[in-house]
Amino acid sequence: MTEAPAPRAPRLEDAVDAAIVREISLDARATLSHLSDRVGLSVSAVQSRLRRLEARGIVKGYRPILDAEALGRPLAAFVEITPLDPAQPDNAPELLAHLSAIEACHSIAGEAAYMLFVRVPTPRDLESLIRDIRAAAQVNTRTTVVLQTFFEARPVEPADFPA
């Protein structure tokens, strides 16, 4: 019995789709008129292509980039987690989803199973969060505190159709 191939991720159709994606990754609030000027299509054609990109799951949404410090969460850290028992179920993401201070959870290669990116108000809150992570998922942790961020949330450049 052969295994069915994994479904392919949606792909960009052409350089125009790539240009649209590039433009909205630089400015998610760009107007259809601006996109039209930048990619050389009519507003209605850009709107149609953008809707198709959304429907196909290439454009998954639009979010503001917020200032974590202004929102009271200036302390950022990466937390590697490793199961206490290698035989335990691999369900850490589900067990940790309720912890809102965890902004991202990545499955990784290496000794650790997952890398979490967290933001909290204070070192004491980080200590409490780490305790909550350990208890909720039955894991060991290794934490690296971020001292300064030079860039993040950079635009994603389409690989198939370079500028």
H or E stretch including 75? strand 75-83
Strands of the sheet containing 139-145, edge to edge, are: 102-107, 114-120, 75-83, 139-145
Q: Which fold has domain 15-56?
A: Arc Repressor Mutant, subunit A (1.10.10)
How far, CA to CA in Å, does 42 sit from each of 27, 34, 36, 54? 19, 10, 6, 18
Q: Which CATH number fits domain 69-145: 3.40.50.300, 3.40.50.10470, 3.30.70.920, 3.10.20.30?
A: 3.30.70.920
The model carries a pTM of 0.82
DSSP tag of 41: S
For the chain, 163 residues long, give each residue's pLDDT as a single digit of tens: 566 666 677 788 889 999 999 999 989 999 999 999 999 999 999 999 999 999 999 999 998 889 999 999 999 999 999 999 989 999 999 999 999 999 999 999 999 999 999 999 999 999 999 999 999 999 999 999 999 999 988 888 787 655 5
How far, CA to CA in Å, does 155 sit from each of 23, 48, 99, 152, 158? 9, 22, 27, 9, 9
